[in-house]
Chain A
Amino acid sequence: MNAIITSAVCGVIMMFSSVFVENKKTYRHIAAVLLLLLLAVNVADTYGIRLFHIDTKGMLLFDRFGYFFNSIAIASTLIYVVLTGRDIEKVGTYTAEYFVLIFFVLCGVTILSSYNTLLMLFLGIEILSIPLYILTGADKRNLKSNEAALKYFLMGSFSTGIMLMGITLIYGATGTFDIYVTPKETITGQPAIVYSLLESAGLILMMISIGFKVSAAPFHFWTPDVYDGSPGVFTSFMATIVKAAGFIAFIKLFDARADASGVEANAFTGVDWKMLFAILIVSTLLIGNITAVFQQSVKRMMAYSSIAQAGFMLFALFSLNDVAKEGLLLYAAAYSLASIGIFAIMVKMKDHTFEGYNGLSKTQPVLAATNTIFLLSLAGIPLTAGFFAKYYMLASVMKTSGYLWLVIVGVVFAAVSVYYYFRVIQAMYFKDGEATITEEVSKGFKVGIIVLAGLIILFGILPQSLLQWFYF
């Protein structure tokens, strides 16, 4: 509760700082301080210090999982703002408003990590999405940014409509908006088959619409255009924190029905959720990885890579056990940190194609070295956080008997992903060229990015250092 209210209030404070503070450069400092405050408030909430006592009538449920994810999201945003705040200033004239929208997105994130009814899920998704539509079109003079914003808005609204339809059907079947429904609560005296059909149809619609938000494969078509068109700094935010929040919402919804995901539980309708998610995973991995191989621009490659990484995060939705939930948190942290780093370096580059990175190791050795660590983490090489993230995901599938083939598919596609991540490393280290950056990188940026790379290695060697906090 602390984080939800504080993030909204922080947004309002940012709004008024845009009115009363003239100097553009102070905005990011204000934002960083407010994010620190938000993080502190959320950690306090984790340890039982509640600032607000509000009866939510069971619509919000705060648990350790949600608090922990909030902390990851807020800390990632803090790192993001500290590293790329200078680039946010360059996007347009409304610098403070961009931070405002980021705070409002965070408000949506915190709702999504604690919702307990479908109503709050819908609200959270909307609070999360609407500021993002604006951020996508932040570069008002750029035609591609406008196109991306319009596409994102139209497709996003459509998927929200699908979600509402799903909620309606589930409500019709169970008579409640609660996500935890025990079978006996369904209306008795009626043929159960109708209700289980309605509920399954509703859940499939929910799966489609949240699948859209996290860009899972058959619903991924908006991702490359939107990520490519929107300003690089905001792509970074969308592809990391927002996507992770989508997954948290996803797993909370389906975890509530984890016991009923087998084929036997759904004998009436014949829906096999495990198989459905397996299909989603395989198509996401296939499309994300194979298309990423053929990209010429690093920004577009990262867009497809984010689809591929979503495929890996979907493994948690498939297995829905303890390892999966734990692993998803680790994956969210590892993926967000690494992607924020790559995007932070990318927005400094003049040329976003692979050729633009040629010879970066000679002109900017620090950037090249840290970028290598981030790419290795995304590829899942040991000693980086990405390795254990992928390990947890695959281990969770191993605990589900009968789906060994899915693990093999996952490993194969992890190997495919190495190809396009290493193309960037190859360009930086083994190709001659003059990689130019738009402006001289400051010492602070270098320190920040080294700390980020250090964090990734720390989580790679001691993943428990992050997860221990989860259990403390």
Chain B
Amino acid sequence: MSALTILLDANVNSSANYFQIGIQLLVAIGIVIVMMVASHLLGPKRSTSEKLENFASGIESHGNARAPMAIKYFLVAILFVLFDVEVIFFYPYAVNFKELGWTGFWEVLLFVAFFLVGFIYIIKKKALQWED
């Protein structure tokens, strides 16, 4: 009950109300610092060459990551991002499908049409053709 009265009477514009938040912030930062320093000081240090290797989901790594790669991969990756973004835009539309009604439908259709135009352009320009 007392907590409720505090909430109701609180003057939101006074900085005194932020005191607790400040304490919490300090504690949170303090815990992070203490843990990092403690693990650094207390933990055993045995550095082996395996530990310094790049971790790639447990598979043994071989070769350098900076090897030249065919530009086609890059092109496909970039085009994938574009259409991925298109799909992402459908999620908010799906959520608001009913509220937006027919106007929303036409607008999304326009949006898809633009992408389709781009897609036709890509196909016609043979950007997705894998073999020359």
Chain B residues within 8 Å of A19, by CB: 121, 124-125
How many angstroms from the CA of A16 to the CA of B117 in the assembled complex? 9
Residues of B within 8 A of A12 (CB): 117
**Chain B residues bordering chain A, tally (CB within 8 A):** 5
B residues less than 8 Å from A189 (CB atoms)? 13
Whole-angstrom distance between the alpha carbons of A20 and B125 in the complex? 10
B residues less than 8 Å from A395 (CB atoms): none
Minimum C-beta distance from B109 to chain A (A): 16
- B48-78 at interface with A (beta carbon < 8 Å): none
Give the chain A neighbours of B13 by CB distance below 8 A.
Answer: 189
Give B76 Cβ to nearest chain A Cβ, in Å: 19
Cβ-based interface call for A466 (8 A): no
- Docked Cα-Cα span, A19 to B13, in Å, equals 63
A15 interface residue per 8 A CB criterion:
yes
Interface of A is mostly: helix
Interface of B is mostly: helix
Distance of A51 Cα from B116 Cα, bound (Å): 24
For B125, the chain A residues whose CB sits under 8 A away are 18-19
CA distance A189 to B11 in the complex (A): 14
Write out the residue numbers on chain A whose beta carbons fall within 8 Å of the beta carbon of B117: 12
Closest residue on chain B to residue A18 by CB atoms: B125
Q: Whole-angstrom distance from the CB of A287 to the nearest CB of chain B?
A: 38
For B121, the closest partner residue in chain A by CB is A15
Residues from chain B with Cβ under 8 Å of A20 in the complex: 124
Q: In the complex, what distance in Å separates the CA atom of A12 from the CA atom of B121?
A: 9
**Shortest Cβ distance from residue A15 to the other chain B in the assembled complex, whole angstroms:** 5
Query: Per-position contact with A for B108-132: 1 when CB-CB < 8 Å, else 0?
Result: 0000000001000100110000000
Write out, one digit per residue, whether chain A residues 1-27 have a CB within 8 A of any chain B CB (1) or not (0): 000000000001001101110000000
Name the A residues within 8 Å of B121 (CB-CB).
15-16, 19
* Cα A19 to Cα B117 with chains together (Å): 12
How many residues of chain A have a CB within 8 Å of chain B? Answer: 7
Q: How far is the CA of A207 from the CA of B124 in the complex (A)?
A: 43
Interface flags, B2-30, vs A, CB<8A=1, else 0:
00000000000100000000000000000
How far does the alpha carbon of A233 sit from the alpha carbon of B13 in the complex, in Å?
59
Question: Which of B13, B117, B121 has most chain A Cβ within 10 Å?
Answer: B121
The distance from the CB of A17 to the nearest CB of chain B, in whole angstroms, is 11
By a CB distance below 8 angstroms, the chain A residues around B124 are 16, 19-20
Docked complex Cα distance between A18 and B13 (Å) = 62
- Given the complex of chains A and B, what is the CA–CA distance between A164 and B56 in angstroms? 36
Within the assembled complex, what's the spacing in Å between the Cα atoms of A19 and B126? 10
> Which single residue of chain B is at the shortest CB-CB distance from A94?
B125
Tell me, in angstroms, the Cα distance from A202 to B121 when the chains sit together: 41
C-alpha spacing A15/B125, complex, angstroms: 10
Cα–Cα distance between A220 and B39 once the two chains are bound (Å) = 49
- Rounded to whole angstroms, the CA-CA distance of A18 and B117 in the bound complex is 14
Contact with B along A330-359 (1 / 0, CB 8 A): 000000000000000000000000000000
B112 to chain A, nearest CB (A): 15
Interface residues of A in 15-47 (CB under 8 A from B): 15-16, 18-20
CB under 8 Å from chain A, chain B span 73-89:
none
Minimum CB–CB distance for A162 against chain B, Å:
25
Q: State how many angstroms separate the Cβ of A183 from the closest Cβ of chain B.
A: 21
| In the bound complex, CA of A15 to CA of B114 (Å) | 13
Minimum Cβ distance to chain A for residue B38 (Å)? 38
A20 to B121, CA, bound (A): 10
Closest to A20 in B: B124
Output the least CB separation between B85 and chain A (Å): 15
State the CA gap A15–B124 with chains docked (Å).
11
How many Å lie between the Cα of A19 and that of B125 in the bound state? 7
Q: Which of A180-206 contact B (CB under 8 A)?
A: 189
What are the residues of chain B within 8 A of A18 when measuring CB–CB? 125
Q: Measured between alpha carbons, how far is A72 from B124 in the docked complex, in Å? A: 35
A19–B124 CA distance with the chains assembled, in angstroms: 6
B18 vs chain A, min Cβ distance (A): 16
B70 to chain A, nearest CB (A): 17
Which residues of the partner chain B approach A16 to less than 8 Å between Cβ atoms?
Answer: 121, 124
CB distance from B79 to the nearest CB of A (A): 15
- Find chain B residues with CB under 8 A from A15 CB: 121
Q: How many Å lie between the Cα of A105 and that of B96 in the bound state?
A: 34
Q: Report the minimum CB–CB distance from A195 to chain B (whole Å).
A: 15
> B93 CB to closest chain A CB, in angstroms?
19
Give Cα A15–Cα B13 distance, bound, in whole angstroms: 57
Q: How far is the CA of A16 from the CA of B13 in the complex (A)?
A: 59
* Nearest neighbor of A189 in chain B, beta-carbon distance: B13
- How far does the alpha carbon of A12 sit from the alpha carbon of B13 in the complex, in Å? 53
A8 → chain B closest CB, angstroms: 10
Q: How far is the CA of A147 from the CA of B66 in the complex (A)?
A: 21
Q: What CA separation (Å) do A20 and B120 show in the bound complex?
A: 12
Per CB-CB distance, the 10 closest pairs between chain A and chain B, nearest first, are A19-B124, A15-B121, A12-B117, A19-B125, A19-B121, A16-B121, A18-B125, A16-B124, A189-B13, A20-B124
Known: A12-B117, A18-B125, A19-B121. 7 other contacts (CB 8 A): A15-B121, A16-B121, A16-B124, A19-B124, A19-B125, A20-B124, A189-B13
Hey, which bits of chain A sit against chain B, CB under 8 A?
12, 15-16, 18-20, 189
Sample (10) of A-B pairs whose CB atoms are under 8 Å apart? A12-B117, A15-B121, A16-B121, A16-B124, A18-B125, A19-B121, A19-B124, A19-B125, A20-B124, A189-B13
